[in-house]
């Protein structure tokens, strides 16, 4: 276990981390030539420092938030634009690269739609040359979605999201985040961990079996479905739910329970008390219905007598222009919004691990043992942790810790009013929390 004592990190500490991770995993794959170069170490440190200082400023009552890309303007085709390209807009005159200029510019360069273009000018040093409009489709990486995304070029990208919080990326791939004086790897989140995958593998197998039953009864050829499609769909839906709860700015709690606990928790018990419960019928299990129907339509739309062994998956789903698939994607999106809306009522939303909606407004018993300390996971698998006191957390978090201490098989997601999300689970003989629940920019 890691020591509770730690020294605060700053941009000068982040710069060498970015240098180390810039080429990791790509040399062996033969794609090194696809990557842009990083600026020299002093320039990189200065660039990160200015972004960090800008994050601490405010524009009137608004926080300073922006995305920045370090790339020469002539590297962007002048005739492209969203949704299938990047729209480059050059300023007549270069602007100085300072925190003051970034503060003034940030309100007009919408975080979700555009980036500030920066490059090293031979005479002026680092300078702001213009704006790169990316469009909104990339936000599906944060909130889920079913459309093709135009990836950013493999250039240095800096995302300023909150005071003292900057995430550095290589194009669309996050490398590391500096947050509250701590550098966090963003290469993997807990949603990508082996233990999460194993916990939901049986559910994907069940959905795949339901799909295969329909496929076997089809009167014309269907393509095969990649089993990973169901896992990705579930992750996308979780991203949509958490993203919507964040946007509501009320906070909320999601409690995931195994099927075997449904009957126990719906009766009078010492853990949860429901205010609103749903009847056990298909509408309660709507997500499974939608995901199986989506898999069926995807397999049917790509079916062919010429290639009966064709396998399709998430990429094919994104690329498809099938109107029925678009309608099903909207239905899943609306279901996620419905569930997120229930989190605005005091109490928790209770769902099963297969996303069957049991009820909401559930109050966690105040008679459960109070937890004085938790293990803060430092990596997705929860093997390396730091022990932390719980003195400074609110009632919502304390309740989640107590529930997981009492029921080791439940998993709780807590979203604070400030938008931060935390996963809570009993792990290795202790209540454990993960802050890196979803992609790092989910807290935008």
pTM here?
0.72
* Interatomic CA distance for residues 218 and 200, integer angstroms: 28
Q: CATH 3.40.1700.10 in the chain, residues?
A: 191-443
The DSSP-derived string for 70-86 is E--GGGS-TT--TTSS-
153-206 tens-digit pLDDT: 899 999 998 888 899 999 888 888 888 788 876 655 677 777 777 766 667 788
Name the nearest CA neighbour of 359 among 347, 377, 370. Answer: 347
Sign of CA dihedral 289, 292, 295, 299: negative
Q: Are 380 and 434 in contact (CB under 8 A)?
A: yes
> Six-digit token pair at 91?
């300023």
Tally Cβ neighbours within 10 Å of residue 249.
Answer: 11
Q: What is the pLDDT along the chain (444 residues), one digit of tens a residue?
A: 444 445 788 899 999 999 998 887 543 344 444 568 899 999 999 999 999 999 999 877 788 999 999 999 999 988 887 777 888 999 999 999 999 999 999 988 888 888 999 999 888 799 999 999 887 666 665 555 555 566 788 999 999 988 888 999 998 888 888 887 888 766 556 777 777 777 666 677 889 999 999 999 999 999 999 988 998 888 888 888 888 888 787 889 999 999 999 999 999 999 999 999 999 999 999 999 999 999 999 999 999 888 878 999 988 888 888 999 989 988 998 999 899 999 999 999 999 988 899 999 999 999 999 999 999 988 888 888 899 999 888 899 999 999 999 999 999 999 888 777 889 999 989 999 987 655 444 444
Is domain 191-443 in CATH 3.30.830.10, yes or no?
A: no
3-state secondary structure of 373: strand
Name the nearest CA neighbour of 226 among 335, 325, 309. Answer: 309
Q: Vertex 255, ends 253 and 256: CA angle to 5°?
A: 145
Residue 415 backbone dihedrals phi, psi, to 5 degrees: -110, 120
Q: What is residue 354's predicted lDDT score, i.e. its pLDDT?
A: 85
* Interatomic CA distance for residues 351 and 354, integer angstroms: 8
Half-sphere exposure of 338 (CA within 13 A, CB side): 15
User: Which neighbouring-strand residues pair with 359?
Assistant: 277, 350
Q: Are 94 and 128 in contact (CB under 8 A)?
A: yes
Q: What is residue 28's predicted lDDT score, i.e. its pLDDT?
A: 38
Tally Cβ neighbours within 10 Å of residue 372.
Answer: 10
Residue 100 backbone dihedrals phi, psi, to 5 degrees: -65, -45
Q: How far is CA 230 from CA 226, 282, 287, 357, in A?
A: 8, 19, 11, 18
* Interatomic CA distance for residues 268 and 262, integer angstroms: 12
* Interatomic CA distance for residues 77 and 73, integer angstroms: 9
Q: Are 109 and 116 in contact (CB under 8 A)?
A: yes
Instruction: Write down the H helix ranges in 172-261.
Output: 194-216, 228-248
Strands 421-427 and 125-133: unpaired
* Interatomic CA distance for residues 184 and 166, integer angstroms: 11
Name the nearest CA neighbour of 255 among 118, 399, 120. Answer: 399
Q: What is residue 441's predicted lDDT score, i.e. its pLDDT?
A: 42
Tally Cβ neighbours within 10 Å of residue 77.
Answer: 11
Q: What is residue 234's predicted lDDT score, i.e. its pLDDT?
A: 86
């Amino acid at each position: 276990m890691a020591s509770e004592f730690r020294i605060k990190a700053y941009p000068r500490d982040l710069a060498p981390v970015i240098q180390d991770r810039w080429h990791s995993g790509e040399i062996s794959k033969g794609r090194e030539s696809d990557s842009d170069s990083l600026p020299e170490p002093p320039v990189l440190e200065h660039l990160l420092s200015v972004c960090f200082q800008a994050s601490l400023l405010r524009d009137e009552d608004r926080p300073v938030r922006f995305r920045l890309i370090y790339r020469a303007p002539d590297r962007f085709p002048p005739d492209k634009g969203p949704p299938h390209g990047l729209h480059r807009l050059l300023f007549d005159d270069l602007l100085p690269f300072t925190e003051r200029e970034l503060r003034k510019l940030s309100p007009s360069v919408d975080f979700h739609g555009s980036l500030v273009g920066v490059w090293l000018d031979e005479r002026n040093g680092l300078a702001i040359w213009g704006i790169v409009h990316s469009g909104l489709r990339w936000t599906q990486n944060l909130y889920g979605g079913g459309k093709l995304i135009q990836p950013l070029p493999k250039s240095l990208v800096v995302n300023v999201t909150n005071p003292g919080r900057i995430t550095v990326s290589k194009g669309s791939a996050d490398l590391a985040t500096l947050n509250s004086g701590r550098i966090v790897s963003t290469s993997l989140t807990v949603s990508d961990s082996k233990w999460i995958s194993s916990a939901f593998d049986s559910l994907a197998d069940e959905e795949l079996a339901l799909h295969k039953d329909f496929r076997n009864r089809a009167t014309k050829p269907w393509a095969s479905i990649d089993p990973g499609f169901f896992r990705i769909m579930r992750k996308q839906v979780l991203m949509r739910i958490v993203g919507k709860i964040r946007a509501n700015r009320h906070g909320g709690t999601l409690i995931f329970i195994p099927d075997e606990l449904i009957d126990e928790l719906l009766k009078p018990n010492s853990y949860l008390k429901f205010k609103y419960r749903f009847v056990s019928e298909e509408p309660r299990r709507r997500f499974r219905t939608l995901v199986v129907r989506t898999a069926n339509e995807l397999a049917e739309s790509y079916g062919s007598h010429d290639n009966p062994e064709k396998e399709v998956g998430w990429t094919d789903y994104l690329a498809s222009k099938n109107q029925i698939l678009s309608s099903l994607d909207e239905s899943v999106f609306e279901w996620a919004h419905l569930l997120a809306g229930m989190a605005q009522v005091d109490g928790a939303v209770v769902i099963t691990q297969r996303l069957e909606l049991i009820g909401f407004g559930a109050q966690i018993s105040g008679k459960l043992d109070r937890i004085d300390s938790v293990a803060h996971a430092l990596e997705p698998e929860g093997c390396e942790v730091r022990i932390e006191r719980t003195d400074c957390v609110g009632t919502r978090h304390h309740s989640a810790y107590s529930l997981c201490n009492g029921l080791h098989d439940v998993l709780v997601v807590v979203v604070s009013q400030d938008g931060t999300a935390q996963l809570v689970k009993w792990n290795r003989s202790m209540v454990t929390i993960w802050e890196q629940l979803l992609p790092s920019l989910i807290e935008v």
